[in-house]
Chains A and B, each alone.
Chain A
Amino acid sequence: MTSEEIYRKLEPIIKTYLPEDISAKEINRSSDLTRELNINSAHLVDIILDIEDVFNIEFKNEDMEQLRNVNDAILLIQQKISI
């Protein structure tokens, strides 16, 4: 799966957790999920669970520590898919 294909599936997942005052247009590959997109940090676990369901993969605790922005998520997903 190319990073573009992953991004297209990832964007709607992230969009779900945006606070009301942040528009989906603000999502880009370098967006920091909690600092720039203002996603409540508690929702990072929900984003992970949704990604697991959509991509049929499973994350470890250590993986979650690496997740800061959209690109991190894409890289993590690519690694998991290729295993």
Chain B
Amino acid sequence: MKKRVVITGLGVVAPNGVGIPAFSEAIKKGISGIKFFPELRDLNFSCQLGAMPIISEEKKREYLSDLQLRNFNSSGILYGVIAGMDALKDAKIEVAKPEDEPLWDLGIIFGTGTSGIEKFREAIYRIDDKNVRRLGSTSVAQTMTSGVSAYLGGLIGAGNMVTANSSACATGTEALLMGYEHIVNGKAKYMLCGSTSDSGPYIWGGFDAMKVTTYKYNDSPGEVAGPMSAEASGFVPGSGAGAYLLESLESAQERGATIYAEILGGAVNNGGQRGGGSMSAPNSKAIQKCITDALKNSDVTGEEIDYINGHLTATIKDPDEIENWSIALNRNGDEFPYINSLKGMVGHCLAACGSIEIVSAILQLHEGFIFPNVNCENLHPEISYLIASEKIPTKFQKKSLQIIAKASFGFGDVNACAIFKKN
């Protein structure tokens, strides 16, 4: 018998709000976390805007000890630890005490793209300086991809599978679906899932070089053309982390836990870098198949979807994504579900985008609202040709939602789509 899986805890470290209350308020009001960074200007970046969560020294010390913070230089691990521990706390699950056995029924799948890139930079300088012996003991832990899941595993005392997945911008959505499968198959009772991404020029530089970021708003960070707008000219790179505590329905009911949503199912696939797909561009057929497979696995039809939390990056690919949703759901014009993208407010948080956006989607489902798709006064004509403009609210709307879809697509032609139901 397949287990049913629900979400009982959320945590988020986003450029426009750290912690669920601040983030929830920010997305309702359409508050942007996008800012101008003089450092990026000084480094000759085309896009001198970025989106970065603000974490005080005091806040750091709530989560990590002085010893753990000694020579600590990994923003991604910090964000992931805060989001992950917040999700656990929100679910009212206690960590294992030092003298206790590990929590055998609790696992972690927390992904990232690159870990501790600033720490890596420090290490590379030391090594090239023939001073490898001066690296200290934490270079490995901070720069390994599984650094974030390993830090969380130690703080919590997790005794089930503890790992980090990596699938570019689909990482967070993939992590959720991997955790879901683990519980469905009865291998764990709780799975802490999510994803994180480092901040700063060394993680963002490669995207700047590819010209997928926007160079047009360096003087006006509040006006960056949003996802789906006619003027969309590229994304603003972001960073942060999102986390969710997944739990079997029976366990959540036994504990009397708050249930944010049920995960009905989902699908992860790959376009094979064929049929128009490449390292950086998606194979549309694969995206459509990912969405239809997700619906099938969740036992729902396209008609039942009330709302879509899109990947929608504010690049020239936005109209293609809308077309793929429209074909996969077999809906268009007035019949199309509501859709929005968080990236107008937090930028493209790369490996963390899926998880931060899932948190935003679950909050909308749980509380019954749709956040504004900001800076999209002029809808892209190819999008308004496909779907009715009122399906993309640019103002906050109260709206009762029952079944919603979230998809993320990433480099390597990876796709992931998850379906959630209000509990």
Q: Does B70 contact A (CB under 8 A)?
A: yes
Q: How large is the interface on B (under 10, 10 to 19, 20 to 34, 35 or more residues)?
A: 10 to 19
Closest Cβ neighbor of B136 among chain A residues: A46
If A16-B70, A21-B98 touch, does A42 touch B137 (CB 8 Å cutoff)?
yes
Q: Does B67 contact A (CB under 8 A)?
A: yes
Q: How large is the interface on A (under 10, 10 to 19, 20 to 34, 35 or more residues)?
A: under 10
Q: Does A20 contact B (CB under 8 A)?
A: yes
Q: Chain B: interface secondary structure?
A: loop
Q: Are A46 and B137 in contact (CB under 8 A)?
A: yes
Q: Are A45 and B136 in contact (CB under 8 A)?
A: yes
A contact set with B: CB distance below 8 Å? 16-17, 20-21, 42-43, 45-46, 49
The 5 closest A-B pairs by CB, nearest first: A42-B137, A46-B137, A45-B137, A46-B136, A43-B137
Expressed in whole angstroms, the Cα–Cα distance for A46 and B72 within the complex equals 13
Q: How far is the CB of A80 from chain B (nearest CB, A)?
A: 15
Report how many A-B pairs have Cβ atoms within 8 Å.
Answer: 17
**14 residue pairs from A and B, CB less than 8 Å apart:** A16-B66, A16-B70, A17-B67, A20-B65, A21-B98, A43-B137, A45-B136, A45-B137, A46-B70, A46-B71, A46-B136, A46-B137, A49-B134, A49-B136
> Which residues 130-165 of B have a CB within 8 angstroms of A?
134, 136-138
Q: Are B67 and A16 in contact (CB under 8 A)?
A: yes
Residues of B within 8 A of A42 (CB): 137
> Which residues 55-80 of B have a CB within 8 angstroms of A?
65-67, 70-71
Mask of B326-367 contacts with A, CB within 8 angstroms, 1/0: 000000000000000000000000000000000000000000
Q: How far is the CB of A48 from chain B (nearest CB, A)?
A: 9
Closest Cβ neighbor of B134 among chain A residues: A49
Residues of B within 8 A of A20 (CB): 65
Expressed in whole angstroms, the Cα–Cα distance for A21 and B97 within the complex equals 12
Residues of A within 8 A of B137 (CB): 42-43, 45-46
Q: How far is the CB of B287 from chain A (nearest CB, A)?
A: 44
Expressed in whole angstroms, the Cα–Cα distance for A43 and B68 within the complex equals 11
> Which residues 87-113 of B have a CB within 8 angstroms of A?
98
Expressed in whole angstroms, the Cα–Cα distance for A42 and B136 within the complex equals 9
Residues of A within 8 A of B98 (CB): 21
Residues of B within 8 A of A46 (CB): 70-71, 136-138
Closest Cβ neighbor of A18 among chain B residues: B67
Q: How far is the CB of A17 from chain B (nearest CB, A)?
A: 6
Residues of B within 8 A of A16 (CB): 66-67, 70
Residues of B within 8 A of A21 (CB): 98
Expressed in whole angstroms, the Cα–Cα distance for A45 and B70 within the complex equals 14
Expressed in whole angstroms, the Cα–Cα distance for A20 and B66 within the complex equals 10
Expressed in whole angstroms, the Cα–Cα distance for A10 and B182 within the complex equals 48
Closest Cβ neighbor of B137 among chain A residues: A42
Residues of A within 8 A of B67 (CB): 16-17
Closest Cβ neighbor of B140 among chain A residues: A42
Residues of A within 8 A of B134 (CB): 49
Residues of A within 8 A of B65 (CB): 20
Closest Cβ neighbor of B66 among chain A residues: A16
Q: How far is the CB of A41 from chain B (nearest CB, A)?
A: 9
Expressed in whole angstroms, the Cα–Cα distance for A49 and B134 within the complex equals 7
Expressed in whole angstroms, the Cα–Cα distance for A34 and B67 within the complex equals 16
Q: How far is the CB of B361 from chain A (nearest CB, A)?
A: 38
Expressed in whole angstroms, the Cα–Cα distance for A52 and B241 within the complex equals 37
